[in-house]
Amino acid sequence: MDAINSSHLTGISSRTVQNPITAAEQPDRNVVSDSFAPSAEGNSVKVCGTIGTAIGAAAGKLSILPVIGAVKAAALGGALLGPAGAVIAGIIGAGAGIFIEGKVHPGRLLGGLVGGAAGMGIGKVLDKLGHKPSPALAEETKGFSYKSLFSKLLNPKFTSHRKISAEEAEEIMKKLQPGDLLIGNNDNGFSFEITQKLIGATGNWTHIAIQAEDDTVMEVMIPNLTDRSENRGEDFMSVMHRPYMENKTKEMLQRNHHLVILRPNYKDKETVGQVMKAGREYSNVEYDMLFNLKSDDKHYCTEFAYKVLKNAAPDIDIKPSSFLGYKFIGADNFIDSPDVQVVHDTGSNFWHNYLSKFD
């Protein structure tokens, strides 16, 4: 249970600019404390209960309805059409199970409740044995309650982490300069984080924007994560063809639960101006649903920032990653660059962010 510890919370180096906004200025925001108070249930009960719920919810979501749908449909298809019918019907049944699970979440609910109960049982044993979980895990899971699991499991967007407040956003904005990179993560959804983890990224961060002038950011966003189509009266496909946006910095900050701000080591002010120009030259790109780094007419958010810097500030060394020969660019690649400094960092951790959906 101690495998996840506070030293892995950000994956960011100690490179910082002078007078950064530090975690000490925001002690109640997703920052792991150095100590924790024992709870009535015991820290191991809460930690193990949360972990058990997380494992059970994932297992239940992936297996219960899809398996039942596949087995039942295959049996019916086999009886009516033979082996070929069984295969086809099984695939259809599994798909139907996945669809229903995505709508009403019965597998997630059942698996999470069973996993949570099992985890609490293990935690009680560990408490009696005097086991003490790491402060990081104890802090993250302190809100766990079995009584509240029903509503949390039926709401996949739930997280115990809170978003950046208006007051915090205003303080952060005082430190920003044009050309800064704002890297964030929103814990309400989690599919993109899981996808990143599966291809070798940390999964800690999911979005990037470039600070522009007049308290705005330049960013490319997945259309269905915004309400821009409602505001403009456009349909989804129309918006997908125009994902470039210039939004208010404060609004962008308040979308996120976690944030790290990087300042590339630009040569001079002229270079910053070139970055602003290069960003706007991509204002007509479409969204890159295939995440193909080779295409220039379609971008995803990190590809947009990468190509802006590559064209306007080529001295900033940002190396793409590769998975099975497929090159991609993620937030980690910007964070790992030797040519950036950290201005602000709230911390973000894939595993803790996932556990926050159940505590």
Inside any domain, residue 31:
no
Inside any domain, residue 48:
yes
Average pLDDT (129-149) is: 93
Instruction: Based on the fold, state whether residues 217 and 116 are members of the same structural domain.
Output: no
Choose between 80 and 53: higher pLDDT: 53
Instruction: Based on the fold, state whether residues 169 and 149 are members of the same structural domain.
Output: no
Instruction: Based on the fold, state whether residues 218 and 70 are members of the same structural domain.
Output: no
Distance CA 246, CA 347 (A): 25
Is it the case that residue 228 has pLDDT exceeding 50?
no
CB 60 within 8 A of CB 107: yes
Helix intervals (H) in 210-258: 228-232, 236-240, 249-254
Average pLDDT (324-350) is: 94
Confidence class for position 237, pLDDT limits 50, 70, 90: low
Inside any domain, residue 244:
yes
Inside any domain, residue 308:
yes
Report pLDDT for 192.
85
Is it the case that residue 231 has pLDDT exceeding 50?
no
pTM for the full predicted model: 0.82
For the beta carbon of residue 217, count every other beta carbon within 10 angstroms.
23
Report pLDDT for 226.
45
Report pLDDT for 241.
64
Average pLDDT (113-137) is: 94
Give the residue among 155, 158, 163 at the shortest CA–CA distance from 254. 163
CB 32 within 8 A of CB 135: yes
Report pLDDT for 18.
44
Is it the case that residue 140 has pLDDT exceeding 50?
yes
Instruction: Based on the fold, state whether residues 284 and 229 are members of the same structural domain.
Output: yes
Inside any domain, residue 9:
no
Report pLDDT for 15.
55
Instruction: Based on the fold, state whether residues 249 and 334 are members of the same structural domain.
Output: yes
| Domain span including residue 304 | 14-26+161-348
**Last residue of one domain, picked from the residues 153, 169, 201:** 153
**Last residue of one domain, picked from the residues 127, 153, 179:** 153
Is it the case that residue 232 has pLDDT exceeding 50?
no
Inside any domain, residue 82:
yes
φ, ψ for residue 34 (rounded to 5)?
-85, -10
Tokens of 125: 């044993």
Report pLDDT for 222.
72
Report pLDDT for 240.
61
Instruction: Based on the fold, state whether residues 133 and 174 are members of the same structural domain.
Output: no
Q: For 262-276, write each residue's pLDDT tens digit.
A: 999 999 999 999 999
Report pLDDT for 5.
36
Q: What is the mean pLDDT of the chain?
A: 85
Inside any domain, residue 355:
no
Choose between 109 and 234: higher pLDDT: 109
**Last residue of one domain, picked from the residues 134, 153, 172:** 153
Q: For 170-204, write each residue's pLDDT tens digit.
A: 999 999 999 999 999 999 988 889 989 999 899 99
CB 278 within 8 A of CB 299: no
Distance CA 302, CA 333 (A): 9
Inside any domain, residue 5:
no
**pLDDT > 90: percent of the chain:** 66
Instruction: Based on the fold, state whether residues 300 and 199 are members of the same structural domain.
Output: yes
**Tokens 């935690």 belong to which residue?**
123
CB 192 within 8 A of CB 206: yes
Report pLDDT for 190.
87
Confidence class for position 234, pLDDT limits 50, 70, 90: low
Give the residue among 184, 204, 196 at the shortest CA–CA distance from 344. 184
Any idea of the CA torsion for 211, 215, 220, 224, to the nearest 10 degrees? 140
Instruction: Based on the fold, state whether residues 243 and 328 are members of the same structural domain.
Output: yes
Task: List all residues 6 or more positions away from 209 whose beta carbon is below 8 Å from its beta carbon.
Answer: 181, 182, 184, 217, 218, 219, 247, 252, 301, 305
Q: How many domains does the chain have?
A: 2
Instruction: Based on the fold, state whether residues 334 and 305 are members of the same structural domain.
Output: yes
Report pLDDT for 191.
87
Confidence class for position 326, pLDDT limits 50, 70, 90: confident
